Each structure stands twice: as structure tokens, then as C-alpha cells.
Amino acid sequence: MEGKARNAPALLFLSLTCVFLSLSTLTLSTSPQFQTLTINPLPEKPTLSWADTEPESETQTLSDSTSSDASTTTSLSVQLHHLDALSSDKTPQDLFNSRLTRDASRVRSLTSLAAAVGRTNGTRARGPGFSSSVISGLAQGSGEYFTRLGVGTPARYVFMVLDTGSDVVWIQCAPCKKCYSQTDPVFDPTKSRSFANIPCGSPLCRRLDSPGCNTKKQVCVYQVSYGDGSFTYGEFSTETLTFRGNRVGRVALGCGHDNEGLFVGAAGLLGLGRGRLSFPSQIGRRFNRKFSYCLVDRSASSKPSSMVFGDSAISRTARFTPLVSNPKLDTFYYVELLGISVGGTRVPGITASLFKLDSTGNGGVIIDSGTSVTRLTRPAYMALRNAFRVGASNLKRAPEFSLFDTCFDLSGKTEVKVPTVVLHFRGADISLPASNYLIPVDSSGSFCFAFAGTMSGLSIIGNIQQQGFRVVYDLAASRVGFTPRGCA
């Protein structure tokens, strides 16, 4: 009897533990299964409004990007816009179709680069803040968003594409052997007091993957080729860039005299990758190796997107996941995707093994600002798609459209209930708004599930799924974060 009495507290503890676990399980299983999608049409072409001159009182010179002085830091912010704004007069349908064409080219470019590295089994050659506005675009092959910034001294303002999938900063330069059509006059380095060539064999020149030398001038030469056949070639130089009155000196950039491909509209590219020559890497000390962007959903908002460099780029409410290093390819931002939930339930068959980055540099998951539609390895996509179809069985199906094989006829409706979708990264569960995965594809009410499968081992989280989040790149802590409703 005494023994039974002594065991009573233990039995009570076990009973309470079981009750607690049951309640925990119940709480987990009752996470939201559906959310409301507001029906919005395909977005019209956005309009642009930029001030190319900065009041003298607002202009300040930040220390050279190559300076080792990290005693002071600042922040920069820029506006971002979608490339659609640089397109000639096109209908919303034309703009969307062009976006999908560019997207396919972009994915081929990224996957071919990753595959080439995997085949060769070799490696590629190796605070403060500011902000600018980000524009999302449809007319370019190497990125969907651009900003306006000043190049040289005095500053000449041009549109530059921002791209997390490439490193080298470059701009079209006069005289042109061959230049594509751009909105602004081509930059003339002879009219800038701050332009300087980089000598052959200098440490900066050796940072290029394939450095070249103009033996006649004894200046460093660069060439960047993209998977879609586009390329830029010219002198590797240093120049001052101006962001909303903040001048950043001695930024290493390519001055391209021969530029061919899908770069119509913008003057060049601001590489935001993880490599040593990307803009964040070059200005790392000055801005504490931190930047973030927020891409607005253009079908629901006319606000510009934005990008911030420096400590103010970090949001307190961001959910972070660690960055993963690919020793064979240092440009991309790799993360660990562990699974996906649809309608509050983990999708069977979508496991971390489907997204594993192997020792040869193949596979993995990257976050990319220049890809629109998220690509998942084929087995993961099929499982996700099938789970979504089951959850959305109440919606009227529509024919396939382009790369989308799961579409719905929502004509005549103002809103519908759709299954929730949650991406489970290591340490961060990201619940997507409905408009980030069910998108309009025409003007007659057809909406499609905005994911696609890929035969490549590389999975890509695209910018449609990133809309509305402030995506934080904290390179100092080797992590990426997501802040919901972060564009305010």
C-alpha cells in the first residue's frame, strides 16, 4: 500500500505529461488550413518617378569601399522597381509572358552554372548603411528588379539591375564596340574625375574568375558570360557610386565596351552575390556586411520596393535560417529547406534529402531575387502540387498555362479560400501569403499555382514567393531572415 502511495505522484506526473503532449499535438494539428486569396488582375505596367539630382546638403562621401576603417558605419537605402517599368508599351498579358520567357532563361543560366561547377569538381576563382528603391522588371535576362544610382564624378544617373545570383558590378561604357539599347546615355569614363583603371596583376584584378590584360594599356580586363548567351567585356576599373546623396568610393566594376544579350533597358548590373567582388562584399566593412530588400506585390500595391544596406537592414522580427556554403560555388545564397506544409499538414515525401547540397557542389536550395517562379526538384514539386490539388479541390480547374500545370478558373469571384503553404527552413517556418503562390496568368480570371518542377538538382526560391517579406542577408552572422509584411 505504501509502495502504491509513493508511486502516485509519479503516475500523476506521467498523466499530466500525457495530457500536455496531447494538447501540444492538438495545437500543432489545428494550425491554419486555409486562408483568403483576394482576386487581383494582372498588374499594369508600373510608372517611374526618379529625382536625378541630390541637394548638396544631403550629399555625403562615405569612405572608400576598400578602406579598412570600420570605426564608423552608416546605412543606405534605395528604391527598387520591376523591369516591366522599362518595357515599351505592352499589355499586362505581354508583360507577364515576357517575364516567364526571361524566367526560363534565368533558370537555365543558374542551373548550367551550378551543373558546370559540379561536373568540373573545381572551385571558382574567388555598420553603416544606405538605401535605394528597387524596381521589378520584365525586360532583362539577368534580374527582375532595378534601381537608379549615380555613376562617376559628377554623378551620371542610370538604371542598374540588382542581382543576387551574380557578383561582378558592371556598366556599359563609351566608346562602344557593341552596346545594347539602354534608357539613359551610355556612361563615358573620360568625363568622370573619379574613374580609374586597375593595373594588370593587381590584387583586385586577380579576384576575377578569369582576369585578362590589355597589354597595350597595361590595364585589367574582365569578361562575364551568362547562361543565356549574354555577356559583357571591357576594362576592370574603380569608380564612385552615388545612392541618394551617399557617395561610395572606389567600387571595383567592369566598364563594358562590348555587351550583348538580354540586357535591354538598364545601363548595367549591381552584383549582390556572396562572391568577393560583389557589391555587398566590397562594401562589407562600411555596412557591417548586411543588406535587405522588400519586393512588393505589384498586383496589389503601387508602392515601390526597397533595398537597405547597413545595420538598419536587420529587422527585429525576422525569422532566420543559417546560410550554407557551397565550396565549389561562392556566388549563390544556399539555405536548408527541410519540408513544406499544405493546409496545416507536412507533405509526405518532401524531405530534406531532396534538397541536400552534396560534396561535389550539386543540389541544394538557393534564394534568388532574379528568378520569378520557385523551382523545386521534380519529386518535391510533384508531392507539393498533388497536396495542393487535394486541398483546393473545391476550386474550378482551368487548363495548364505555360510552365504551370495546376490552374484554376476564378472568374467572377472577388475572393476564395485556398490551402495554406508553409516553407520549413532550418530554424524558420515561413508561411506564404496566398498571393505568393496563386497568381493571375491572364485577364480572364485564370490563376495558377506558382511553383514548378525542375530536372536539375538545384532548387530556387523565386521572387514571387518572396513578395511582401523583407528578406534580410546578414552575412556577418552567415544567415538569411524573412520578415512578413516587411515592405512598410
Judge whether 474 counts as a catalytic residue: no
* Residue linked to cell 525542375: 454
Q: Which of 84, 103, 368, 442 is catalytic?
A: 368
Please say if 64 is a catalytic residue: no
Tell me how far the alpha carbon of residue 417 is from its chain's centroid. Answer: 28
Name residue, grid cell 590584360: 213
Question: Could you tell me which residues come within 8 angstroms of residue 292 by beta carbon, excluding any fewer than 6 positions away?
Answer: 307, 308, 313, 314, 315, 470, 471, 472, 473, 481, 486
Name residue 78's beta-bridge partners: 132, 307
What cell numbers appear for 446 in the block? 485564370
- Distances from the Cα of 77 to the Cαs of 267, 311, 397, 474, in angstroms? 20, 11, 43, 16
Cα(206)–Cα(208) distance, integer angstroms = 5
- Residue owning grid cell 502504491: 4
Residue 307 identity = M
| Cβ within 8 Å of residue 388, ≥6 positions away | 342, 406, 419, 421, 449
Name 315's Cβ contacts closer than 8 Å, sequence gap at least 6: 292, 470, 472, 481, 483, 486
The pairing of beta strand 290-294 with beta strand 268-271 = unpaired
Instruction: Give the C-alpha separation, 351 to 183, whole Å.
Output: 46
Q: Which is the catalytic residue, given 103, 163, 228, 474?
A: 163
Q: Which residues are catalytic?
A: 163, 368
